[in-house]
Structure formats: C-alpha cells, structure tokens
C-alpha cells in the first residue's frame, strides 16, 4: 500500500499528523509515523476505536482561514449517497459515502467541497452524534 498523509483525531481531542501505509477500514489497529519523525522511524500503533476520525489530507498545514462548503452545488460530485455527519464534538462533515453501516467500525466520506484539504475521511462510527442522508 502507498504511504498517505493523515491527520488522526482522537475522541479526547488529541491530534497527530503523520504518514501511514497499513490502514484498512476493517482492522482495529494501524501504524502511524508522525510527520516530524525520520523516514527510518518505526512509528506508533494506533487503535481505531479510540479515534474520532482519520482525515486523509492534501497537506498537513491545510488552510485554517478557509471555510469549507457544507452544501451540494451543481458541479460534479463523487459517487455515493449524500450524507451529513455530526460528530459528538459538534463538528459537521458533509459529503458522499458508498457504505454506511452503523454496525461497522467506520466508513469513508468524501467531502462535498473539492477545495477542502481533506481528500476523504474515515469516520469512526462511535464518534457520531447524528447521521442523516441528504
């Protein structure tokens, strides 16, 4: 698997930025090499059930002043069902998903905003306060 940039957000608010090449949505653990580590470092083991979400990002800096769009427009969209996810901390994620099942550990959402720093988000099911199809 190729190495990807991710931002890990824990349920307790802790954030770690780094790289992974062994995340699979059906496995409860994966490894993360923090962004500030050397390429030869082993990294740390991450327990998915402790997370809010895994954000697969374009870059680690992002664009803090940018307000991500939360509505569908007339342009082309990724395939899937339109959804709104409200996390237990109040954060709102709007996008499309191909496979929501509340009995699974989590599911992927592709954000509605193509200018978002997030390419896709693995939402951990237990971190959701409210979910709805749009």
Ordered by start, the domain boundaries in the chain are 4-57+78-133
Taking only the tens of pLDDT, the chain with its 134 residues reads 689 999 999 999 999 999 999 999 999 999 999 998 887 787 899 999 999 999 999 999 998 899 998 988 876 777 899 999 999 999 999 999 998 999 999 999 999 999 999 999 999 999 999 999 99
Which CATH number does 4-57+78-133 carry?
Answer: 2.30.30
What residues does 95 pair with on adjacent strands? 83, 111
Q: What is the 3-state secondary structure (H, E, C) of 107-123?
A: EEEEECCCCCCEEEEEE
């Amino acid at each position: 698997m190729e190495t990807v940039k991710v931002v890990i957000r824990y349920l307790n608010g802790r954030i770690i930025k780094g790289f992974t090449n062994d995340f699979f949505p059906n496995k409860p653990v994966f490894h993360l090499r923090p962004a500030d580590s050397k390429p030869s470092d082993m990294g740390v083991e991450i327990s998915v059930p402790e997370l809010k979400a895994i954000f697969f990002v374009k870059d680690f800096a992002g664009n803090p002043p940018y307000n991500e769009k939360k509505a569908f427009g007339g342009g082309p969209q990724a395939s899937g069902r339109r959804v709104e996810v409200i996390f237990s901390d109040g954060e709102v994620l709007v996008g499309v998903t191909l496979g929501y099942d509340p009995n699974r550990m989590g599911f992927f959402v592709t954000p509605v905003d193509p200018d978002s720093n997030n390419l896709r988000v693995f939402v951990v099911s237990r971190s959701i306060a409210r979910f709805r199809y749009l």
